Amino acid sequence: MTILVVTGTDTGIGKTVFAAGLAAALRAYYWKPIQAGIDPDGDKEEVARLSGLPASHILPEAYRLTTPASPHLAARIDGVEISLDRLALPQVDGPLVVEGAGGVLVPVSETLLMADLFAHWGQPVILCARTALGTINHSLLSIEALRARNVPIAGIAFIGERHEENERIIPQLANIPSLGRLPLLDPLHPATLAAAFATHIRLSDPFNG
């Protein structure tokens, strides 16, 4: 079973849109284990809308928290204790795309960071990064945090307007593959996302197998 974990250098950078495009391209199952903030919907509803996948491929969250905050705080506000046991990867019949919450070092609980959870899973991670100013620092720090925990990195995917230098120097300095750049889409719907993903994102053979 192919499993790919999608994370980001920060929140709000477009990793849910990327995850939807990836899941659609692989005809994969999609799982966001921790959803923090559901006004009006969560990320799995967005992925269901953008991917065109059957409902059976959109898996329910392990935790669906109401407050848009880091999981540790959202769980505290909701009176919920997040357990590692409930965050075991689901067994599915096909590829699985897993989306993390926020950035790499977002706290899942008082003692667990998102990167620690990735290390526990031991599956390859795709890092989504902005193309804009500040992305070099955020990207390289995120990559160092992942490597410090021996998390395998499948590559980096950029999201936003073209920036040749940022798109060149980050993969070079980090010595990781660039999977391409997903442009900002207007309108954003399943057809435009699928077309942009097919045109701009390079999925290597292991992703397809």
Residues forming the active site: 32
The DSSP 8-state label assigned to residue 58 in this structure reads B
In this structure, the chain runs to a length of 209
Residues 22 and 193: their CA atoms lie apart, in Å, by 10
Q: Which amino acid is at 87?
A: L
How far, in Å, CA of 76 to CA of 124, rounded? 30
Query: Angle at the Cα of 76 (from 74 to 82), degrees rounded to 5?
Result: 85
Three-class SS state of 148 = helix
CB contact at 8 A, 89 and 122:
no
Question: Tokens at residue 115, please?
Answer: 């990167």
